[in-house]
Amino acid sequence: MYRCVNCNNIIEKMDPNYVRCPYCASRIVFKSRPPVAREVSTD
């Protein structure tokens, strides 16, 4: 999952050999992960 820094669109899938935003053709994207909620129980 990537996010374009230019148009701020979410890019679900991207070819790692061809990193480019399909919306604005920007080559600057952030690799982002969906936030994972993790519950920690202290016993």
Classify the C-alpha dihedral 8-13-16-18 as positive or negative: negative
Closest CB to Zn ion among 1 and 24? Answer: 24
Closest CB to Zn ion among 23 and 30? Answer: 23
Closest CB to Zn ion among 6 and 32? Answer: 6
Which residues neighbour 28 within 8 Å (Cβ) at sequence distance 6 or greater? 4, 5, 6
Judged by CB under 5 A, the chain residues 1 through 40 that form the site for Zn ion are: 4, 6-7, 21, 23-24, 26
Binding site for Zn ion (CB under 5 A): 4, 6-7, 21, 23-24, 26
